[in-house]
Chain A
């Protein structure tokens, strides 16, 4: 059954996930997920609470295994290389992440927060180069105009929505191939949410985005492809326009109609 509800994307895939299982202790949170994620597109991971969507994307940058007792089985190929056999530190340089709640480093300025990926790793940059990276990342994150005069203030001075865009800039500054977003707007007001959504659509020109959301409308607005998870299983995957109008699985249809979730 899974074979007919999970569609192959037309675009070349950046992630090729094969028979992925993720466990907390003995309990599987992800059951046999097989999925290809298209490059330079926005893929939404959607589903009710507790369906494993956050666990799933935390596998993609190997953050899942940091939880005590957690483990992963299967294959996650990033451009053909199995990330489960790579050094997690190298995986995370290529696959960035934005979290549910904005988490800028409280001891750092806005400027240093953007450069955190370099500073924390002890990579020395020349002044002009650092300035260039900061401006570029902040522009991409649509934050430059708001903060260009206060780059040396603490990142925690910003509003919640600005902090989240600062975190996006921080992730983009190290030039990842994929950006994972774990319900990036769940802690934000509607206006900030709209800004981030706009940003997501723009960013796909330069980076592949995988965004977790429990908000059906948001998935519809920002994504090209949608994966619907239920109870740890991938129920359905396909172009968002298809999945939203003619869902093939009954559970997807019921979720979209708001019968559960």
Chain B
């Protein structure tokens, strides 16, 4: 019976080891959240959200232009990436048979692995150089390319989950394939497709590298997509490496805003996915 005791003990030990290792991935996130909230919450105020930044040495000021810029970049990038990405996903799920579909699928997967700064260079060559100056548009192009693979693959997966009998129900009514896609498949998969779009947005909103030589940054308010625009990650980057204490404090504040935006998008898309999983349908 002595053997049984040791076996039980080993079993317990193994369980605790696994538990600790499982908690490990959560630790950095908790640490990050704790750190930036502690450092950044102090600089949050009404002024911080609606004002422009002040020159170094002056108290106060905000990152209103960067928040607006980030939202504008996200909207512009979505306008480009969502239609292309969803249609590409539809193609892969509904029409792609054989080699060409496989090539598109692999391209999307490879695109997902391309370093974001490289996509910034691509947008620089495609948009900034021909235009002759930096612009929100070029930044949005870089971000849109980053969003594409996520939207394409999630749309494809969601549409593939829709039962074949639903397609047949529509086709048997004399509805052609394209209308079936548009009026039956996309509405049926809408929640899932939206989840993919939100996740891709969460992925790009915190990106700095693709914006460095595209959106570039702008200390003033700007709503013109053809002009350079500020964005939260750019603000954090510039302020955090600056020597001024006030700016560094604002970098912490901007980090809080950015993290909460991305976290919020992530949680919201999780919530949608959870509802898709059969709860509340």
Residues of chain A touching chain B, judged by Cβ–Cβ distance below 8 Å, are: 61, 63, 66, 68, 89-93, 96-97, 99-101, 103-107, 116-117, 119-122, 167, 170-171, 174
Contact = CB atoms under 8 A, between A and B. Distances in A.
Interface in B160-211: 163, 165-166, 168-176, 179-180, 183-184, 187-188, 190
Contact of B174 (A93, A99, A101): A93
27 contacts: A61-B172, A89-B176, A92-B171, A92-B173, A92-B174, A93-B174, A96-B173, A97-B168, A97-B172, A99-B165, A101-B165, A104-B169, A105-B184, A106-B166, A107-B188, A107-B190, A116-B173, A117-B174, A117-B175, A119-B183, A120-B184, A121-B173, A121-B175, A167-B169, A170-B173, A171-B173, A174-B174
B172 A63 contact: yes
A106 B281 CA distance: 10
Given A120-B184, A170-B173, A105 B179 contact: no
B101 to A, nearest CB: 12
Bin chain B's interface residue count.
Answer: 20 to 34
A89 B166 contact: no
Contact of B175 (A89, A91, A106): A89
A103 B174 contact: no
Nearest to B172: A97
Contacts of A104: 169
Contacts of B166: 103, 105-106
A66 B171 contact: yes
Given A68-B97, A120-B183, A106 B188 contact: yes
A26 to B, nearest CB: 18
B235 to A, nearest CB: 42
A107 B183 CA distance: 10
Nearest to A99: B165
Contacts of A91: 174
B99 to A, nearest CB: 14
Interface of B: 97, 163, 165-166, 168-176, 179-180, 183-184, 187-188, 190
8 A-B pairs closest in CB distance? A93-B174, A92-B174, A97-B172, A117-B173, A103-B165, A120-B175, A103-B169, A107-B187
Given A107-B187, A120-B180, A120-B184, A99 B168 contact: yes
Contacts of B168: 63, 66, 97, 99, 103
A121 B163 contact: no
Nearest to A93: B174
Given A89-B175, A120-B175, A99 B188 contact: no
A96 B183 CA distance: 19
Contacts of B174: 89-93, 117, 121, 174
Contacts of A171: 172-173
A68 B187 CA distance: 25
A101 B171 CA distance: 16
